[in-house]
Amino acid sequence: MKFSEKLTKLRKEKGLSQEELADKLDVSRQSVSKWELGSTYPEMDKLLTMCKIFNVTLDDLTNDEVDFKDVKVKNRNYFDSLMDDFTSIIDNTYTMFKNLSGKQIGKVILELAIIFIVLLFCKIPFDLIMDSGADLIENIPKVGDFFGKLCICIINLAYVDAFIFTFLYIYKTKFLDKYATIKVEENEAENEAVEGEKKEVKEERIIKNRDNDNSSALFKTIKAIVTFFFKFFLLCIFVPCMFGFLGLFVAFFVALYFILQGALYMGVLLTIVGAIMLCGLMLKILYSFIADCDANKTAIFISGIVGLIVLGLGMGLCSIEIANTSLVNEIPTHNFDLYTRTYEYSAKDNIVIRNSIYGEVEYVEDESLGDRILIDVSYYNQLANFYIDEVQYSDHKSISFFSDGRFNKDLIKLVVEDLKDKTLHNYEKLYEYHVVVKGSKNSLDNMRKYYDEPATYYEDDNEEYLRLQERIDQLENEKESLKEENETLKNKINTYKESINNL
């Protein structure tokens, strides 16, 4: 089948008119008509563009021995199309700058710099949205800081995407396409001038250009390396997204459990469902890039819109539900028992209490204890494990307190009951402990004395360290100075020896 017949069938299969195909190839409609009539033959760059448009190989398009029914249309994935567009911009940029004069190149660079600066100023509205949105989100208790930073990250990514897209679009339409139009007009004029030449000569040029195109091994290697690192980068995003996807499902079932128990927070559930849809959509897009498989653009677009609608609706309901929920910074009403443990020590041991996190220490004077020191520790043993750490030093004994929380299903029931009443308490206080140290005034004063002395000791030790370090630096400088002076004296001695030998 001849090239002209193939071109006609491929164009009709694609649903393109001669004028539409001409626009894609940056030629006139008359040129496409002449190609389909077989009176002229397109240039190599146009043939390569046709291969991309119709998703066929160059050999299938130009070899008359290959019938059209044997042509297998190759599906192109997003990444290949992206790389082709990117390499096409690079190739056209190189061709354009190669054929421009120095004055024209300077003008192009100046205009591009102006466009770049204007796009930088366009970040101002993004910053305003980012600042106001992040401040609003950060006011949400507990998770506000995380989602505020996430909001800043998303808006910055949106600006970068918009910047790159706008810059490349202006650059392509204003410079590359304009230059290509000029070259098309010049080529058409040249084709008209050589219209009488034999067709065999043009076919010979096409075969030669085809061989040159297949010989670009370096470019293919670079493309393969870029493809590998790009897919590796996408894989690094894919893996945490997968774990996030699984985490959202866990959160979904937890929210569903709370709703079934009577805590009707539908906004939280809808927000999680919307996040699951968008996260799954992102995983699907990332997988299509990594595995080089096609994805239904229409389905992706519809899924994205539905996911955003569900997420927006959920966040709206969630904000209303949070606004109607009371936050009480107190220990909730509960059935947990406050357990107290008592430790007894002798004042002669020179006890020092070290304050630890999740607890507070209270000192109570009791002269009836004499040389004894009693330490009462109160905590909820159903929710926390309590530990005491004793370290004996040469002149005192240091005591520290630690606790770690553990899961308790009764706490879940307590949270559910609170949520039914649209109330949230400070549940962290259930994991805190309270320490009461009892002893005579003299014993407690000695404890505070030993507590202060180590701090003073370390402070004095630190000052001594700084003084010694300053002295070391001073000696190092003197060493360098003496070394330079020694070198100078050696040079003088060598000069004197040479003078003596010359006498």
- pLDDT, tens digit, for every residue of 321-354? 888 888 888 877 666 788 888 888 888 888 877 7
Q: Phi, psi (5° rounding) for residue 75?
A: -75, 135
Q: At which of 308, 324, 340 does a domain end?
A: 324
Q: Summarize the confidence of residues 160-179 as an average pLDDT.
A: 78
Report for 10-14, 22-26, 258-262, 478-482: range of highest mean pLDDT: 258-262
Regarding whether 354 and 316 lie in a shared domain, the answer is no
Regarding whether 227 and 201 lie in a shared domain, the answer is no
SS3 call for 425: strand
Residue 453 pLDDT exceeds 50: no
Residue 309: predicted pLDDT: 92
Residue 405 pLDDT exceeds 50: yes
Q: At which of 324, 346, 375 does a domain end?
A: 324
Give the integer Cα–Cα distance in Å for 444 and 434: 18
CA-closest candidate to residue 7, choices 62, 45, 57, 52 = 62
Regarding whether 128 and 84 lie in a shared domain, the answer is yes
Residue 75 pLDDT exceeds 60: no
Which string of DSSP letters, residue by residue, matches 164-175?
A: HHHHHHHHIIII
Give the integer Cα–Cα distance in Å for 312 and 199: 63
78-80-82-88 Cα dihedral, nearest 10 degrees: -150
Lowest mean pLDDT among 202-211, 254-263, 356-365, 481-490: 202-211
Residue 73: predicted pLDDT: 45
Residue 32 pLDDT exceeds 70: yes
- Give the burial class of 479: count Cβ atoms within 10 A of its Cβ; 0-12 exposed, 13-18 middle, 19 or more buried: exposed
Regarding whether 319 and 335 lie in a shared domain, the answer is no
Confidence grade of residue 214 (pLDDT, cut at 50, 70, 90): very low
- Residues 352, 353, 355: CA angle, nearest 5 degrees: 145
Average pLDDT, the chain: 76
Regarding whether 433 and 408 lie in a shared domain, the answer is yes
Residue 253: predicted pLDDT: 92
Confidence grade of residue 252 (pLDDT, cut at 50, 70, 90): very high
379-400 pLDDT per residue, tens: 888 787 777 888 887 777 888 8
**Token output for 272:** 């999680």
Give the integer Cα–Cα distance in Å for 358 and 404: 9
Residue 461: predicted pLDDT: 47
* Contact of 326 with 426, CB cutoff 8 Å: no
Give the integer Cα–Cα distance in Å for 364 and 192: 107
Percent of the residues in the chain that have a pLDDT greater than 70, as a whole number: 76
Residue 463: predicted pLDDT: 61
Residue 235: predicted pLDDT: 83
- Residues 180, 181, 184: CA angle, nearest 5 degrees: 85
* The residue type at 387: Y
Chain center to CA of 485? 56
CA-closest candidate to residue 73, choices 61, 60, 58, 56 = 56
**Token output for 9:** 């069938």
Number of domains observed in the structure of the chain: 3
CA-closest candidate to residue 330, choices 258, 403, 245, 424 = 424
Give the integer Cα–Cα distance in Å for 196 and 181: 24
Q: Summarize the confidence of residues 159-187 as an average pLDDT.
A: 73
Regarding whether 378 and 390 lie in a shared domain, the answer is yes
* Contact of 382 with 410, CB cutoff 8 Å: yes
Regarding whether 275 and 151 lie in a shared domain, the answer is no
Residue 141: predicted pLDDT: 55
79-127 pLDDT per residue, tens: 555 666 666 677 778 777 878 888 888 888 888 888 889 888 888 877 7
296-320 pLDDT per residue, tens: 778 888 888 998 999 889 888 888 8
Residue 211 pLDDT exceeds 80: no
Regarding whether 173 and 140 lie in a shared domain, the answer is yes
Q: Summarize the confidence of residues 11-32 as an average pLDDT.
A: 81
Other beta carbons within 10 angstroms of residue 127's beta carbon come to: 13
Residue 213: predicted pLDDT: 43
Q: At which of 186, 214, 242 does a domain end?
A: 214
Regarding whether 90 and 14 lie in a shared domain, the answer is yes
Regarding whether 343 and 310 lie in a shared domain, the answer is no
Residue 272: predicted pLDDT: 92
Regarding whether 393 and 299 lie in a shared domain, the answer is no
Q: Phi, psi (5° rounding) for residue 25?
A: -95, -5
Percent of the residues in the chain that have a pLDDT greater than 90, as a whole number: 4
For residue 154, what are the CA distances in angstroms to 133, 134, 141, 151, 239? Answer: 11, 11, 21, 5, 19
Regarding whether 414 and 471 lie in a shared domain, the answer is yes
Range of the domain at 196: 3-214
Q: Identify the sign of the CA torsion 121, 126, 128, 131.
A: negative
Residue 144: predicted pLDDT: 61
